[in-house]
Structure 1
């Protein structure tokens, strides 16, 4: 996947710089090319000889290298690369990137970039949590940079918390995902696909809420399979037991109304897949204070109202705005085929994937799923398979449907 792809790897000064060596090895093993740039501080932890030898390209550090600058070297570096990765990225270098400073080769290359940038922050937990760092982080995200990590864990200084650089294999996975998604030979390259996932929560009062047992595993597996097939994925997720896949654009929501708003804001798209377990109802009025027991032991009554129907609202859009494929999910506990068929007709979606989530099936929260697939031709029963396999099977069917319309 990385054959013929060139990564410009900027290593900044921090104890995590030693992990950059493993990252170089992973990229090279996958057939990719690496051009290292080491800041002056990085060279306190990793020598240019070590990085350059493993990369097969001399590690660079000097902005005013007369040989390279005769060819406008700092511009040539980023134009020649397919991707820029900063790992580790210190708090100081984050600040430089956020404010457009360019006082060395690394920061000048970033300012002159015309390529995607993946940033792997690494710093003390207090530095990471500091308000200026968080402001700089928000700026980098707004500028379109992709952030990987940091992880929670013990620091070299002995403190514990977020700030550890993501492991090299995690950063490498993000690099692979990026190149995979930009490969125009992949079946869903150039397609924008929206996926909802996870569970919504409807507040009853400041400490209680209505929700369900969805783990988010199926929606996450679908998004990962779509990304692997080259799609640009908008991933709108409620509460989930698993993290979002690498390389997707994530929007976190809490309530059904939040999800409705996020979905319509994310349109237009080529395909919309509604895998989230959305609460059908919410309290008409959530309490502003914790609801207390009554003295007589009587339970409080709650007046419920319907939440907006996200799937139906998208399926009913004007053809000029409606996705080519609108795909729903139906979690049923009885009469699965009958109820799912009626739901598809009621919602107006093109496809519907139904599953039995009754007690004992292990579907909610489990790693496998049994799907009954509905479309205009009727329904078909898929064999029980892992949720990753369901994601790949659905992705293959989507690719076939979209490509058949060309």
Structure 2
């Protein structure tokens, strides 16, 4: 943290008193801290306290009342190495998620060129409310980082999630981020191909065969590579997810054949290939031109194998190309994963088990085991998919650095 320029946004929450402890820890670690407070935050902790600890005047308005000087939100956004809003109230989360900038803090957020972290704090029911959950997802989809609220006793007397993460825990997250950033510098400028989401295999004009993949894991991986400075092509099956990062080039596909052809095109110039998509193994031999009517009590569908993308690209892999595949298993997990690793000539296989709670399709979390071609095993705990993506990217960066 030494020498890092940190913008600390403080919004209206009873937990704003913890921002004083966070400022102290940041300054002690050698960071240059500029505090920006919302008007409501000043009802919970005084600007004088935070100004004294940060050794800088606290900013809260576009115009300084004392001397009429302009607090330039654009310059502040360019100055910072990192912006963290802690505590981030429900109101501030909503304002940032939807682009309102009627105060200095939200204007600085919209101007920020640096990584942005939100540490929410609010009462249990507010934190669980669908609008807050949606706003947090929306902010994450923009490439921001969320430091989840902690579980414990709240100011209301309720017990549950909603407490601001402890300042020491926030410091660990920020320190880890800058450490990881240094580790992943080797990825800057690398050409990366990521596949994500499901495929849809048409039966007729209105029906298809598919699976439960949401695409969240692949999109998190694409975003993490892009944040590390890589040039990312994301070949995506049908999902409801936005482009994960402004620099990511997304290629939308539907069927397994579409995904194979798009992946083959991008593979030629790619140095790192991450095949996280859940591609259909079989597709109908015949696709009806008209909707199939329900007539007979039984209906048979003839299927044929699709092209194995991982095996095909593995056989074409050149020196200097690195290939990571995924294996979602329900039984004999490691045995099946090792077989895929070697037969498809992968450098890594990422194993998920549907027997692990919170892993697999449909979750915002994942639990993985990574096995490399030398059969070295890397096990990871259950984490958010963004954190899993960082683990995978760091693993690849470490290999490339070596």
Q: Is the 8 Å Cα contact of residues 256 and 307 (structure 1) preserved in structure 2?
A: no
The residue that corresponds to 2:399 in the other structure is: 397
Q: Is the 8 Å Cα contact of residues 336 and 356 (structure 1) preserved in structure 2?
A: no
**Relative to structure 1, is the Cα distance of residues 160 and 366 closer, same or farther in structure 2, using a 3 angstrom cutoff?**
closer
Distance in 2 (CA, whole Å) between partners of 1:231 and 1:177 is 20
The residue that corresponds to 2:4 in the other structure is: 5
Q: Are residues 1:101 and 2:101 paired?
A: yes
**Relative to structure 1, is the Cα distance of residues 22 and 324 closer, same or farther in structure 2, using a 3 angstrom cutoff?**
farther
Structure 2 unaligned spans of 5+: 204-208, 238-246, 288-296, 328-333, 354-359, 361-365, 382-390
Distance in 2 (CA, whole Å) between partners of 1:178 and 1:356 is 25
Q: Is the 8 Å Cα contact of residues 9 and 36 (structure 1) preserved in structure 2?
A: yes
Structure 1 unaligned spans of 5+: 239-247, 286-294, 345-350, 359-363, 374-380, 401-406
Q: Deviations over 1:351-372 (max 9, x none)?
A: 54469999xxxxx99876654x
**Relative to structure 1, is the Cα distance of residues 192 and 13 closer, same or farther in structure 2, using a 3 angstrom cutoff?**
farther
Task: State the Cα distance separating 1:12 from its structure 2 match.
Answer: 1.0
**Relative to structure 1, is the Cα distance of residues 92 and 165 closer, same or farther in structure 2, using a 3 angstrom cutoff?**
same
Task: State the Cα distance separating 1:35 from its structure 2 match.
Answer: 1.2
Distance in 2 (CA, whole Å) between partners of 1:160 and 1:232 is 44
Task: State the Cα distance separating 1:27 from its structure 2 match.
Answer: 3.4
Distance in 1 (CA, whole Å) between partners of 2:15 and 2:127 is 14
Task: State the Cα distance separating 1:146 from its structure 2 match.
Answer: 1.1
SS of match in other structure, 2:33: strand
Counterparts of residues 52-201 of structure 1 (less than 5 Å): 52-65=51-64, 69-70=68-69, 74-87=73-86, 88-91=88-91, 94-95=94-95, 98-102=98-102, 104-123=103-122, 124-125=126-127, 129=131, 134=135, 138=138, 144=142, 146-148=144-146, 151=149, 156-157=155-156, 164=162, 167-168=165-166, 172=171, 175-176=174-175, 179-180=178-179, 183=182, 186-191=185-190, 193-194=192-193
Q: Deviations over 1:23-66 (max 9, x none)?
A: 43553454322211111211222232333344343433244325
Q: Is the 8 Å Cα contact of residues 20 and 168 (structure 1) preserved in structure 2?
A: no
Q: Is the 8 Å Cα contact of residues 334 and 356 (structure 1) preserved in structure 2?
A: no
Distance in 1 (CA, whole Å) between partners of 2:232 and 2:158 is 36
SS of match in other structure, 1:31: coil
Number of aligned pairs? 360
Distance in 2 (CA, whole Å) between partners of 1:93 and 1:275 is 31
The residue that corresponds to 2:323 in the other structure is: 327
Distance in 2 (CA, whole Å) between partners of 1:50 and 1:394 is 44
Task: State the Cα distance separating 1:158 from its structure 2 match.
Answer: 6.8
SS of match in other structure, 1:50: helix
**Relative to structure 1, is the Cα distance of residues 392 and 13 closer, same or farther in structure 2, using a 3 angstrom cutoff?**
closer
Task: State the Cα distance separating 1:327 from its structure 2 match.
Answer: 0.7
Q: Is the 8 Å Cα contact of residues 8 and 35 (structure 2) preserved in structure 1?
A: yes
Q: Is the 8 Å Cα contact of residues 19 and 167 (structure 1) preserved in structure 2?
A: no
Given the two structures, how large is their TM-score scaled by the length of structure 2?
0.57
The residue that corresponds to 2:242 in the other structure is: none
**Relative to structure 1, is the Cα distance of residues 312 and 184 closer, same or farther in structure 2, using a 3 angstrom cutoff?**
same
SS of match in other structure, 1:187: helix
**Relative to structure 1, is the Cα distance of residues 342 and 83 closer, same or farther in structure 2, using a 3 angstrom cutoff?**
closer
Q: Is the 8 Å Cα contact of residues 148 and 165 (structure 2) preserved in structure 1?
A: no
The residue that corresponds to 2:344 in the other structure is: 343
Q: Deviations over 1:214-241 (max 9, x none)?
A: xx99x99999997998767789999xxx
SS of match in other structure, 1:398: helix
Q: Deviations over 1:64-83 (max 9, x none)?
A: 32567546555543343222
Q: Deviations over 1:334-367 (max 9, x none)?
A: 8968x765533xxxxxx54469999xxxxx9987
